[in-house]
Amino acid sequence: MSSREQILGRVRAALADVVEVPPVPVAPRRDPVPDVVGLFAERVEDYRALVVRSTADGLASAVAAALPPNATVVVPAGLGVPIEGGVADDGALSAYDLDRIDAVVTAAAVGIAETGTIVLDHGPDQGRRAITLVPDTHVCIVRADQVVLDVPDAVALLRPAVAAGRPLTWISGPSATSDIELSRVEGVHGPRNLVVVIVESAKA
């Protein structure tokens, strides 16, 4: 008898009296949330981010009002929203250059209501990761139809981006960390200020 057969025989003997464990039932999804966008706005605010609600017609004005006064602004080339004085990123700006820019305006790939999280998949309207991590203020545009209830819903929508090899950036409020005494410091690992502009359909 080979060593392999001896090992497998011992494994079979050890498992001979083991009762088969039934599969764990999958917990049912909870009842639908009547206002997913409202829940998203509430959770985003819980993270000390500013939420602005706008219509498509008022988007440019809402973004302009959300930016710091006289701010220098960088935008991804595919944003599609006019930003007065905004510099379209062509990939040439270094981290040093971006550190001298006050704010960035991007779109998003998805918003998650339960966690108040925004996910960027860095498509043309979101740009490369560096422009969303270095400037002090990030104004992020999220359409109401991009807001889903939970993380599994978001992951399903993000599969094409993952398959294409694009990075994902998950944002839950302004960048923040705490030291050993639990003193909160914002802006250490990314933007110190986060403004989320939720674009909703105009009321009839």
Cα separation, 137 vs 67, in Å, equals: 8
Residue 32 has pLDDT above 70, yes or no: yes
Summarised one tens digit per residue, pLDDT across range 91-130 is: 899 989 999 999 999 999 999 999 999 999 999 999 999 9
Average pLDDT, the chain: 88
pLDDT tier at 10, thresholds 50, 70, 90: confident
CA angle 44, 198, 28 (to 5 degrees): 60
The tokens for 170 are: 């998950």
Give the number of residues written for the chain: 204
Cα separation, 29 vs 52, in Å, equals: 30
Which range (64-68, 82-86, 117-121, 197-201) has the least confidence? 82-86
- 126-130: long-range contacts (C-beta < 8 A, 24 or more apart)? 126/76, 127/75, 127/76, 127/77, 127/78, 127/79, 127/89, 128/76, 128/89, 128/91, 129/167, 129/169, 130/93, 130/95, 130/98
| CATH superfamily, domain at 34-200 | NagB/RpiA/CoA transferase-like (3.40.50.10420)
In the chain, pLDDT over 90 holds for what percent of residues?
66
- pTM for the predicted model, two decimal places: 0.79
What's the pLDDT at 152?
A: 93
Residue 33 has pLDDT above 50, yes or no: yes
Q: Buried b / exposed e across 95-133, counting CB within 10 Å, b at 16+?
A: eeebeebbbbbbbbbbbbbbbbbbbbbbbebbbeebbbb
What's the pLDDT at 173?
A: 80
Summarised one tens digit per residue, pLDDT across range 36-69 is: 999 999 999 998 899 999 999 999 999 999 999 9
Q: Where are the chain's structural domains? A: 34-200
H or E element that contains 133: helix 129-133
Which amino acid, 80? Answer: G
